[in-house]
A and B are shown apart, each in its own frame.
Chain A
Amino acid sequence: MEKQNNYWRKNLIYLKYLLFIWFIVSYGAGILFNDFLNNFHIGGFPLGFWFAQQGSVYAFVIIIFVYVYLMNKLDKSHGYED
C-alpha cells in the first residue's frame, strides 16, 4: 500500500509540473501574453503569434514524451512494468 501511495504521489507531482508548462505555452504565451510577446520576433514570426500557431503544438508533443519517459522510469522503480 505504501508503495502504491508513493507511486501515485509522484505521478501527481509530474502531472502538476507538466500541466503547468502546458498552460504556460498555450494560455500564457499563446493568448494572455500574446500582445506583449509580439514585440519580439523569432525568424519572421512575431513571437506571440508563433506560440499560438506553432510553438505551443511542438511543446505539447514534447510534454507527452517527457511524461512517457518519466512514467516508464517510475513504473520500473516501483516494479510496475506491465
Chain B
Amino acid sequence: MNVQLWTYVIVGITFALYIGIAIWSKVSSTSDFYVAGGGISPWANGMATAADWMSAASFISMAGLISLMGYDGSVYIMGWTGGYVLLALLLAPYLRKFGKYTVPDFIGERYYSKSARIVAVLCALLVSFTYIAGQMRGVGVVFSRFLEVDINTGVIIGMIIVLFYAVMGGMKGITYTQVAQYCVLIFAFMVPAIFISFQMTGNLIPQIGMGSKISDGSGLNILEKLNMISLDLGFNEYTRRSKSLFDILAITLALMVGTAGLPHVIVRFFTVKKVSDARKSAGLALLFIAILYTTAPAVSVFSRINLIETVSNKPYSSMPNWFKNWEKTGLLKFNDKNNDGNIQYLSNQNLNELYVDPDIMVLANPEIADLPPWIIALVAAGGLAAALSTAAGLLLVISSSISHDLIKNIFNPSISDKGELWAARISATLAVVVAGYFGINPPDFVAAVVALAFGLAAASFFPAIILGIFYKKMNKEGAITGMLVGVLLMSFYILKFKFGIFDGGKEAVPLLKEQWWFGISPEGFGAVAMIIHFLVALLVNKFTSDPPKYVQEIVENIRIPVGAPPAKNH
C-alpha cells in the first residue's frame, strides 16, 4: 500500500472513532454540555486536557521551531509546561471548589459585577477566536499535503467533524474524543521519534538518544556533531543562547502565565468530581504532555542533522521524492542563486538557497528518515487529532461564553435549561463557521497567534484569578481596571510591534525592533502586561472600598476543599 492509501485508511478510522464517540455521548442538559456533568475521572481529564492543550502548534510546529532556534527554542519547552505548575498549585483546585461552568462565571461572581463578567467574556472570545483560526488552518495544511485535496476542502471537512461532536456531545463528547485524540497523537508522535532515535543513535528512547553518541562512527555526541555542522554553515552553536537573556526570561514567563490563564484549559478542571481530583488531573495532564514535550527537542536535533546531511551541498537533481512533494506546498523553496545546481543551505541570507518552513520538520521527518508509509500516514492522523481536539475545546469556550455568560446571565436570565442548551448549540455552530472562514481566509494575525493569545491570557485572566483567590480584599474596581489595562496594553504592543499599524504597516516591523521596550519582543510582552495588571489592580484597590462581606466569605470558602458543589446541581 502506498502512503496516500494508508493515510486515507488511518485518518478514516480515527474520524469514524470520533464520530462514534459523539453519538454515544449525546447530551441533554446544560451541565453535561458545559462541564460533562462534573463526572470525569482524573485520568480521563488528564488525557483530555493534554489533547486540548497540545494544538497544531505543539504537534506540527514546535519541534521544527526548536530545530531552527536551538537553545532559544527552550522558551517553548519550559514556557508551555511550567504553566501547569501554576495551574495545579494556584488555580485549578480553587476554581473547581468554586464549581461553576466558565471562567467569566468566576470573574463575574467573585467580583460581584456584571461589567467584570462582560470584560471577561470579551477577553475569552478574543483569546479563543485568535487561537482557533490557527487550528483550522493546521487542519487544512495537513489535509492538503497528505490527502492531496485543496486546503479549503480540508478546512471544511475538519469543520464538519468538529461540528458533529462538539454540537452534539458538548463537553462530554469533546472530553471522550479528546481522550481518543490524545492516544492517536501521542502514538503518532512517538513512533517516528523512536524509529529515528534508533536509526541515528541506536537508542530506543529519544530523550536519551538526544544525549548519546551518533552512530556514524565519528564517536561524537549527537549534540557536539550538531554544534559543529551548525558552525560550519554559519549558524549559531545549537546549544547556546543567541536571543537576549532578558527576552528569554520574558517569553518564558509570558508563555507560563498565559498557559495558566487560557480559558479552554481552565474549564477542563471544572469537569472532575472533586477538588483533590482537580489537583491530581493537573499532574496527570502535565505527565501526558511531558511525554511529547521531552521528545520534541530530540526530534528537533535528529531532524536538523538529517535535513542538513540530506541537502547541504548536494545536487538538486539528486533530491529524494519528499523534497519535490514539499516544494509543491511552498513550505520548502529552493532558489539556485549561484547556478551550480547544488543546494547551499547557509545562515547568510545572501548566499542561502533553501527556505525551510519550520512546519515541515515534523511532517516530513518520517519521509526524510525513510520510514515506512504507514508511519507517514500516522503522522497525518496525529496532526489532525492535535488540531481538532484543541479546536473543539476552544469552540466550547466560545459557545458557553455566549449562551451561558451573555444570554443566561446578562440578557435573558429567565431562559429555560433547554433553551440555554439550544443557544449553546447554535453559538457553537456559528463559531465553527467563523473559525472555518478564518481557516480558509487566514487573516494576517495567524502568525501572531502565539504572541497574541498567550499575551492576552497572561494579561487578563491570570492576575484577576490569582488575586481573586489569594487576596480576599480585592475588589471589583481594581479587578476591572486591571483587566482592561492589561488587555489594552497588550493589544497596543502587538498592534505596534507586530503589525506596525502606528508606523505605516508591516514593512516597518523589522525596524521597530530597535524600539522594543526593555528589548522585550511582542512574544514576551505578556509578562510585562501581567505585572502591570497586578500593580494597577492593587493600586486601584487601595483607594476604593472593600468587597462586600459575602464575597469575602466566598473566598474563605473556596480555599478549603470540602463541600465542592457537584457541577450538576448548579
Contact = CB atoms under 8 A, between A and B. Distances in A.
Interface of A: 4, 7-8, 11, 15, 18-19, 22, 26-27, 30-32, 34-35, 38, 42-46, 49-50, 52-54, 56-58, 60-61, 63-65, 67-68, 71-72, 75, 79-82
B562 A80 contact: yes
A46 B226 CA distance: 13
Contacts of B81: 56-57, 60
Interface string B192-236: 000000000000000110111100000001111000000000000
Contacts of B71: 34, 49, 52-53
Given A49-B71, A71-B276, A56 B223 contact: no
A33 to B, nearest CB: 11
Contact of B283 (A35, A61, A82): A61
Given A18-B89, A19-B89, A75-B276, A31 B252 contact: yes
Interface stretch (B138-146, B178-186, B289-297, B405-413): B289-297
Nearest to B42: A68
14 contacts: A15-B90, A18-B89, A26-B252, A31-B74, A31-B249, A50-B211, A52-B77, A52-B78, A53-B66, A56-B78, A56-B81, A57-B77, A60-B290, A64-B283
Interface string B234-245: 000001110001
B563 interface: yes
Interface in B229-268: 239-241, 245, 248-249, 252-253
B561 A27 contact: no
B252 A75 contact: no
B78 A57 contact: yes
A32 B171 CA distance: 41
Contact of A34 (B84, B222, B241, B290): B241
Interface string B404-423: 00000000000000000000
Nearest to A50: B211
Contacts of B283: 61, 64-65, 67-68
Contacts of B249: 27, 31-32
Given A49-B223, A54-B297, A60-B286, A67 B89 contact: yes
Given A43-B212, A64-B88, A57 B562 contact: no
B80 to A, nearest CB: 10
A72 B560 CA distance: 12
B425 interface: no
A63 B293 CA distance: 17
B222 A44 contact: yes
A27 B254 CA distance: 12
B305 to A, nearest CB: 13
B559 A8 contact: yes
Contacts of A8: 559-560
A72 to B, nearest CB: 6
Contacts of B221: 44
Given A46-B239, A57-B77, A67 B245 contact: no
Count chain A CB atoms within 10 A of each CB in B239, B249, B275 and give the residue with the most.
B239
Contacts of A30: 74, 78, 252
B279 A68 contact: yes
B556 interface: yes
A49 B294 contact: no
Contacts of A72: 276
A82 B275 contact: yes
A8 to B, nearest CB: 5
Nearest to A3: B560
Nearest to A82: B274
Contact of A26 (B78, B241, B282): B78
B501 interface: no
A22 B563 CA distance: 30
Contacts of A19: 85, 89
Given A18-B89, A44-B212, A46-B239, A54 B561 contact: no
Contact of B245 (A31, A54, A61, A68): A31
Nearest to A53: B297
B77 A61 contact: no
A81 B85 contact: no
Contacts of A81: 276, 561-562
B10 interface: no
Interface string B62-94: 000010000101100110011011001110010
A7 B287 CA distance: 28
B114 interface: no
A82 B78 contact: no
Contacts of A42: 211
B26 interface: no
B280 interface: yes
B564 A82 contact: yes
Contacts of B239: 38, 46, 49
A18 to B, nearest CB: 6
A53 B71 CA distance: 8
